[in-house]
Amino acid sequence: MVIEIDREAGFCSGVSRAIRLAEQELSQRGQLYSLGAIIHNEAETRRLEQLGLRVIDHQQFAALHNATVLIRAHGEPPATYETARKNNLQLIDATCPVVLRLQHKVKLAHQQPETQVVIFGRKNHPEVIGLSGQTGNQAIIIETEADLQQIDFARPIHLFAQTTQNRKRYQQFTRRIAEAGNENIDADMLHFEATDSICRQVSNRDIGIAQFAKKYDVVIFVSGASSSNGKYLCGICCENNAMTFKVAAVEEIKKEWFAGAEKVGITGATSTPLWLLSQAAQHIKAITQNTHIGDVS
């Protein structure tokens, strides 16, 4: 049996930058606070905690003074920066550049007269919270068809998307908002603008991971349980290979999954470290025996 690791797997550039900044600070000082987990991957979070990282929530952040805190790639609302100023907190801002640009666009859209900012994304996702903060938390967050009822179609609408969302679903919602607008008011009265703000680096993984999944008898998808990107990409793997198994830790991998398999592919979310994929490959080799780990595919 041959095991191959997806060469396109591993961190996206935004996550890589955040971890690099954290490691640099930890190597110099041995301690660093992170406002929320840097990454939605439990194994990588534990590794960083062993280096001295301490993950805190917003309540702990508000009570903290005279310390250094990392802002993760997801970004934060303006209120977080105001708290840091008041509490004399030094920030290492690892907000993804893609998210930073989106925050700026959302803020500008909100400043337009009467404009409703609508964000397609998960309501409690940290990136969405940061984006909504650019509007004074007045943005309308939509996840389902029922959420469209919050929109006033008589006012201008500007739609954005959480950067890690499914592009196909975003396009469906874009069409549905236009249709709903035309159902509620005259077509020439509808002022609707949609900005495709989904990260290209993330969305480009769609085709690649679908092709990857088709090549193997079994696919092991490694991802943190809370990773939105992981749930989405694993779904694509499952659509293209029914023998796809999602795990958060290598100990979850079961020997019986590989009965009769000749080729096994290992991949993961943009928040899954390559070292964890390599660990999964070694674990599969150990439990199945007589296994060859091939070149990275």
The domain locations on the chain are 2-10+203-293, 13-96, 98-198
Q: pTM to 2 decimals?
A: 0.88
Cβ neighbours of residue 259 closer than 8 Å, sequence gap 6 or more: none
CB 283 within 8 A of CB 238: no
| CATH dotted code for 13-96 | 3.40.50.11270
- For domain 98-198, the CATH architecture is 3-Layer(aba) Sandwich (3.40)
Distance CA(167)–CA(91), nearest Å, equals 32
Render pLDDT for 81-139 as a digit per residue (tens, 0 to 9): 999 999 999 999 999 999 999 999 999 999 999 999 999 999 999 999 999 999 999 99
The confidence score (pLDDT) of residue 52 equals 98
Taking the chain (297 residues) in consecutive chunks of 10 residues, what is each chunk's mean pLDDT? 94 94 97 95 93 98 98 97 98 98 98 97 95 98 95 95 91 94 78 94 87 97 89 94 97 95 95 95 89 56
Q: Is-catalytic flag, 127?
A: yes
At a CB cut-off of 8 Å and minimum separation 6, what does 30 contact? 52
CATH topology of domain 2-10+203-293: Cobalt-precorrin-4 Transmethylase; domain 1 (3.40.1010)
Q: CA nearest 132: which of 162, 112, 154? A: 162
The answer to whether domain 2-10+203-293 and domain 13-96 are alike in fold is no
Alpha-carbon distance of 33 to 22, in angstroms, equals: 9
From 127, 183, 239, 262, the catalytic residue: 127
